[in-house]
A and B are shown apart, each in its own frame.
Chain A
Amino acid sequence: MKRVLLATSLMAASLSASAVVPGGDSCGWGNMLFEGQSGLPMHVLASTTNGTSGNATFGMTSGTNGCSADGTLTYGGKSMIDLSSIMGEFSEDVARGHGDALTTVAVALNVEAQDRQVFDAVMHENFAVIFPNENVTAEEAMATVLKVMKADSRLSKYAA
């Protein structure tokens, strides 16, 4: 259960923060398909000159360059990373049924190597369920991911 909550927070972190300031100050890279992720391309200037804009982090908190700077979700007192910013990659990988983002989420969910293919296939089959429209939030998508996993005999143990 703990693991599931962690993964949910991976997906859902920071949506509230970014909803307040779409494309705002601390908001990071990439305006993508889904709501809650806006881009501010001028940040490119900062990073290409090897700058690190604003709040430096040391890995104790969530990603800082993303919209998540103010919206880190924690579980059991632990700060978790923000994966809502890979919603674009994740949705594309789910649509195709393979890819790095899919693997990353599987790893975050502690899906063991021998079940990864099943995970990929189940996600692929349920694309339209997990992503019912272009305005779905990371939190909602993750909740469905877990629901779908629970319904599968091999994946249910990871979503328990």
Chain B
Amino acid sequence: MYLLRLLISFLLFGWLPAINAFADTGLSGTGLSDTDSKNQIRSYAESAKMKAADLKLSEETTWRALLHYRQDSFSESGVSSYVDDSAFFFSPMGHYDAEQELQSTIDALFLPESLGNEHAQCRFVYRFQWITSKLNLDLDKMPVAQCTDYLEWRKQVNAHSVSLIFPATALNSPSSMFGHTLLRFDPKDVEGGSDWLSYALNFGANINNDDNSVSFAFRGLAGGYPGVYNMMRYFEKIKEYNRMENRDIWEYKLNYTPEEVDLILTHVWELKDINFDYYFFDENCAFRLLELLELVRPEVNLTERFKLDAIPTNTVRAVVEEGLVESTHFRPSELAELHARIDSLPKSIQRLGRALADDIEVMQSPEFMALSQEQQGEVVQIAYSYLRYVQLQTQRDEEMAKRSYQLLLALNKLSSKKVEVARPDAPETGHKTITAGISAGERNDDVFQQVNYRVTYHDLLDNEKGYLRGAQIILFNTELRHYNNDGLKLNRFDIVDITSLSKRNLFLKPLSWKVQVGYERLYSRGDEVGVLQLNGGAGHSYEITDDVEVFGFLTGRVEHNKQYNSILEPAIGAETGLLYYSPIGAQKLDVQGYQFLNDDYRVRASFSQNFNIAVDHAIRLSVAQEWHDDDDFYDVSIGYRYYF
């Protein structure tokens, strides 16, 4: 490890002359325009290429990383690049052939400097610096292009340190289900200034605004969009996540040195306008950023861990585990701030604030006048914050704008405290995202043993530490049961199972909802059968105390059940439940019923308790009773769950 670091610092310092020459040399300084010097350049280029081949430079880790090569058994050369854009390669074979790409790159570096900003030296600065340093090239014998665009960009993105930014999952937004990651580059004095003006580097799918959400989701998963890097001021991202999407942002300042940050940016420039394939699960935002972090610190092990999927929380966890994080900062969403403000005020003040938001005359009312200055400030502030929240959801409304303005005028004369949002446990401190478990139980006097496996990621009962309360996102949950007198059965297979419980209060009236698709074994018309089903519902949820939430849904279901005459049998129903986040683990009481179009009905009441043993270990107890027409039965089980 230490040797590698030494090597890297050597490389860094080795480049300094190259960087200086690069910045300082003028067009006139080299005098390389006559035929002789052209021939000299040519032969110098040829010797450089031979030297590169002799040194097997193209097999070095940094070259592989710079060109984003990975092992690929389908490729003749054994490697292929993640980059799917011919503009990234100088050789037509560059996508597959590291050696040819290196040779062609050296050729390009020796092209006449008149290419200016399009010159290989300007377009691929990291490669240029790396090759010249590795081959110990004499810059006086090379054309030196004027890279004004690059230099201006570097001046603008004046970076000293880098942070990994993690906008967390948002309730009610399934497409944010695993969060997102980006990098932020801060100038030296950011603590005394404003990080709003720092630059954020984002990798995302370059989407087509005209696509509808279905094709959008499909193409996102299947890789139908090109992925590109872009950079913008960080406040654009704060607006987008904190304000528009109500997502908390976690900021992990990394312990990369200014020299390492400089190198990352050198490569980031090379990725400008370059298309990658974008896949939602693996080749996504999180994965691409890990590549960057690894490029300048090859000794850290990041991308190797995420061959199949790169869920942002897990990549954050990896970055923390590799010891790259210096400090963590929590930036709550505007909604979290509004909730904190609402929760900090007595009901009477809340009511007044809510009324004031609708009617500015409330400020003249006796109730308002009777308040202390400080309380008046709180009323005005919460009314303003609420209006602001409402405004975000709609087009500009003259009346509302007028009221908001009057509230600001009032606020200007009163005062209001900055609201403190309690910092929750950081996402990487929560349980891991794959779950496996074993359990035993009994269903109608039939003893069973069960194994279950869930690809990802969190249910309502799992340890809430590091996760968003009220959000359940499950993909690919499998339960295999062995009944002592009926053999092995697939008990259930959920493809998707999402529940979003957003609490309502005097100000905020969000909808709670759930959707679930999959296979399940159940009792129907005298027999145990496997059915395919889709169900969903919408409703409300409320917080009773800090740790108790109740919810109710109106639900619908369609089922493919061989006991029924129709291929798809629809049902309507209702569900209500109570969640208690007890100190030992969450518990849920739940009753749901369905009335099918064919007159069948089903009611199921259940109680489940999770016992949090450790972050990645739990015991889950579950008791249920079902009623179907004339039959009723029970299902109890207890088991151990492991998260990894």
Contacts and interface: CB of A to CB of B under 8 A. Distances in A.
Q: Do A and B come from one complex?
A: yes
Nearest to B174: A48
B220 interface: yes
B409 interface: yes
Nearest to A135: B401
B230 interface: yes
Interface string A115-154: 0000000001001100101110000000000000000000
How many residues of A sit at the interface, in one of the four size bands?
Answer: 35 or more
A34 B232 CA distance: 23
Contacts, number: 187
Interface residues of B, number: 66
Nearest to A52: B204
Given A29-B240, A29-B243, A39-B392, A95 B207 contact: no
Given A39-B394, A49-B220, A60 B207 contact: no
Contact of A22 (B213, B235, B396): B396
Instruction: Pick from A22, A44, A50 the residue with the most CB of B within 10 Å.
Output: A50
Contacts of A54: 206, 209
Contact of B391 (A22, A32, A51, A92): A32
A49 B207 contact: yes
Interface in B199-245: 199, 202-207, 209, 213, 216-217, 220, 225, 228-233, 235-236, 239-241, 243-245
A21 interface: no
A31 B395 contact: yes
A46 B207 contact: yes
A113 B244 CA distance: 31
Contacts of B192: 113
Interface string A3-47: 000000000000000000011010011111111011101011111
B396 A37 contact: yes
B519 to A, nearest CB: 27
B402 A134 contact: yes
B408 A65 contact: no
B416 interface: yes
A38 B394 CA distance: 8
Contacts of A135: 401
B239 A29 contact: yes
Given A49-B216, A63-B232, A134-B402, A44 B412 contact: no
Interface stretch (B98-106, B149-157, B425-433, B508-516): B149-157
A48 B173 contact: yes
A100 B196 contact: yes
A113 B190 CA distance: 12
Given A64-B232, A108-B197, A39 B395 contact: yes
B405 A60 contact: no
Contacts of A59: 153, 156-157, 199, 231-232
B170 A48 contact: yes
Contact of A31 (B396, B402, B409): B396
A56 B217 CA distance: 20
What are the 6 closest A-B residue pairs judged by CB atoms, nearest first?
A134-B405, A59-B231, A51-B207, A48-B176, A52-B204, A104-B194
11 contacts: A35-B396, A39-B393, A41-B394, A49-B207, A54-B209, A57-B232, A65-B240, A101-B196, A127-B412, A128-B409, A133-B405
